[in-house]
Amino acid sequence: MRQIIRAARVFDGGGAAPEPAEIVLDDDRIVGVHRGQGTVALGGEAILDLPRGTLLPGLIDAHVHLLGSGKPGDSAFGVGDLLNSIPTVTLNCFRNAQQDLMAGFTTVRDAACRYYADIALRDAIARGDMPGPRIWTCGLGITSTTGHMDREKILPPHLSLPGPSAVADGPEEARKAVRLNLRYDVDFIKFNATLTEHVRRYEGYCAPEMTAETMAALIDEAHWHGRTVTAHAYGGDGATWALDAGIDGIEHGFYLTDAHLEQMARQGTVLCPTLSVVGKFREHGQKALPPGAPHLEAWRQKAIANAWKTAGRARELGVKIICGTDAAMPYVIHGENAYEIAMLVEAGLTTTEALVAATSGAAAGIAFPEVGLIAPGRFADFVLVDGDPLADVTILQDLDKLALVIKGGQIVADRRDPSTSGVGKRA
């Protein structure tokens, strides 16, 4: 069905100043964007008039974990592997994805799940079986024995966990772990280049989780099959080896050096700094730390001291920065994703740059070219904001100010006030 959105103020996600536009949709795609008003010849199409507010592309969160809520006491990780059934994990993923969508995030990238629940949910939403955001999936995060995502490291030695895992302790195991994920048609590959758990007691920042040869084999295998690769990497040798092997993205990166950042800028490697995690560390103190980690408080202070500084330096050196929350970490709650955009501004990005990082920049950074921009050929995903997020990005954290959320040309959340014929909280 063809329809026209006639909006008084459109920020297209590419960085240009907002302006009036008429956007022509055909089913779930944008087929035309015409600057100004009254430029499209009408032929009986349905018209959605938006005389107030700012229309944005649907927002993108490039780093979530759908299996966890982020609320205090959530048991998605660690002991959750013992307590939660596979159906429970999948239903939790569905619930959290809905909250992201209602907050205007029409696309999310799940940066490691369990039991391929992310794949099942992605496919069900894509078929139209249930509502939800578009999900960019990696299946299982690839780790090493006693690595950051080794599910069995919390267990006594006489116990093991059933179910799929992706533990790689050498180049051939890394290639096999990539192929295991490809069996389920993942969209990208995620692995751990560094971990902190074993060096915190010595006041260390991070250590490599895999050898340089293992990382190189993993990245080669993924690239052979057309998948981009991103890594959990705070800095140090692990980040160096991943960059030397041609990695496409770095997650977190709190302790990256100028040498790392300069190499990222040269290579086009994107940074997803997940500042929401340290923002919640700062806000909630030790309540945002898991129990049973006696050396984590000192490491938390290092993260707070470095994260914003590193992200700001990355911007100065020309690194492409994308928006990702790490939702599911303590107090990083699904549905509150726009907090990350404010954290990027705190790090030194302009409001325009931060919005690009959550729209077209994120789409390019995760290699999902059908989202993130109001342009012909893209999915018809939009958020109508009651106000000007370019003046104050924190407005995006107020759900009552998100007057409309549209995915694939269909309204999925409508908070407009009909008495004003514009935007605002529905009466």
Burial of 373 (0-12, 13-18, 19+ CB in 10 A): buried
In angstroms, the CA 87 to CA 221 distance is: 31
Are 58 and 316 in contact by the 8 Å Cβ rule? The answer is no
Tokens of 369: 């070219």
State the residue for tokens 């100065």: 316
- What pLDDT, on the 0 to 100 scale, is given for residue 420? 57
Q: What SS3 class is residue 295?
A: coil
Residues whose CB falls within 8 Å of the CB of residue 384, separated by 6 or more in sequence, listed in order: 7, 50, 53, 54, 55, 56, 402, 403, 404, 405, 406, 416, 423
| Helix 339-346, helix 296-316: angle, nearest 10 | 70
Burial of 209 (0-12, 13-18, 19+ CB in 10 A): buried
| Three-state SS sequence of 19-85 | EEEEEEEECCEEEEEEECCCCCCCCCCEEEEECCCEEEECEEEEEECCCCCCCCCCCCCCCHHHHCC
Tokens of 111: 């940066």
In angstroms, the CA 163 to CA 86 distance is: 9
- What pLDDT, on the 0 to 100 scale, is given for residue 158? 87
Residues whose CB falls within 8 Å of the CB of residue 270, separated by 6 or more in sequence, listed in order: 230, 248, 249, 250, 264, 319, 320, 321, 322, 365
**Backbone angles phi and psi of 35, in degrees to 5:** -70, 140
Return the number of other C-beta atoms located less than 10 Å from residue 274's C-beta: 28
Are 154 and 204 in contact by the 8 Å Cβ rule? The answer is no
Tokens of 51: 């005389």
Instruction: Write the pLDDT tens digit of every residue in 189-248.
Output: 999 999 998 888 888 899 999 999 999 999 999 999 999 999 999 999 999 999 999 999
- What pLDDT, on the 0 to 100 scale, is given for residue 70? 94
In angstroms, the CA 234 to CA 243 distance is: 12
- What pLDDT, on the 0 to 100 scale, is given for residue 160? 81
State the residue for tokens 């006489």: 158
State the residue for tokens 């960085």: 15
pLDDT in tens, the chain (427 residues): 899 999 999 999 999 999 999 999 999 999 999 998 877 777 767 889 999 999 999 999 999 999 999 998 887 777 777 788 899 999 999 999 999 999 999 999 999 999 999 999 999 999 999 999 999 999 999 999 988 988 888 788 888 877 788 999 999 999 999 999 999 999 999 999 999 988 888 888 999 999 999 999 999 999 999 999 999 999 999 999 999 999 999 999 999 999 999 999 999 999 999 999 999 999 999 888 877 677 888 898 999 999 999 999 999 999 999 999 999 999 999 999 999 999 999 999 999 999 999 999 999 999 999 999 999 999 999 999 999 999 999 999 999 999 999 999 999 999 998 765 555 443 2
Are 108 and 125 in contact by the 8 Å Cβ rule? The answer is no
Which domains does the chain carry? 2-57+372-420 (2.30.40.10), 59-365 (3.20.20.140)
Full DSSP string of 124-180: HHHHTSS---EEE---SPBB-TTSTT-GGGGS-TT----S---B--SHHHHHHHHHH
